[in-house]
Amino acid sequence: MPEFAVFTRRDREMASRVSNALAVLLSLRRTMPMQLAVTYLHVVLEEGLTVGALAQRCGVEPSVMSKHISELYLCNRHHKDGLQLITMTQRVYGDRRERRVCLTERGRAVARQIGLALKDPKPVRKPFSCFRQILGAVTSSGFRGDASGS
C-alpha cells in the first residue's frame, strides 16, 4: 500500500458501505441536503421522538427541525410533494400539541434498502439506479415516488 494512502483496506470498505447507503437517499432526491438525511436516519434509529427531542438529537433548533420534517413528510412547506418518509402522530390523551415523528411504510422500505446497502462492501457504480428498487417496494404499498426531487 502506498505511503500516502489515508484509508486502510477496512476503512475503504466502510467508506464504500456508507457511500452505498447515501446513494439510496440520493436516489430519492438527487439534491438531498445532508441535514435532511441525518434527520431521517435519526428517525430510523429512534422512531417516536417528539419534534423537540429530534431537534436536540440532530443539534438544530426546533424551527429548523420543523422545516426538515416538512420535507420528509407528505407535503413540504412550499406545498409541494414531500418525500413521504415520515408521518406525525398525536396523543389521544395528555398534551395534544405534542407530536411524535414516525416512519411511513415508504420510510421503512427505504430504511431496509439502506440496511442492505450497508452490508455490501462493493461501491455502487450507478448510485441513482437503486431508486427503481425502492420505488418498486414502495408502490406496492400504495405510495408514489418522485425521482425529480421537486
Residues of the chain with pLDDT under 50: 141-150
* pLDDT at residue 144, as a whole number: 43
pLDDT tens figures, 126-146: 655 555 555 555 555 444 444
Assigned CATH topology for domain 9-134: Arc Repressor Mutant, subunit A (1.10.10)
H or E element: which one contains 87? strand 86-90
Q: Which residue's C-alpha cell is 396523543? A: 91
Parallel, antiparallel, or unpaired for β 86-90 and 99-103? antiparallel
Which pLDDT value is given to residue 92? Answer: 66
Predicted pLDDT of residue 63: 92
* Per-residue pLDDT at 51: 92
**Helices 9-28 & 34-45 angle (0-180, nearest 10):** 100
pLDDT of residue 94: 67
Residue pair 40/85 in contact (Cβ under 8 Å)? The answer is yes
Dihedral over Cα of 68, 84, 106, 86: its sign? positive
For residue 5, give the DSSP letter.
Answer: -
Count of residues for the chain?
150
Predicted local confidence at residue 12, as pLDDT = 87
pLDDT of residue 7: 84
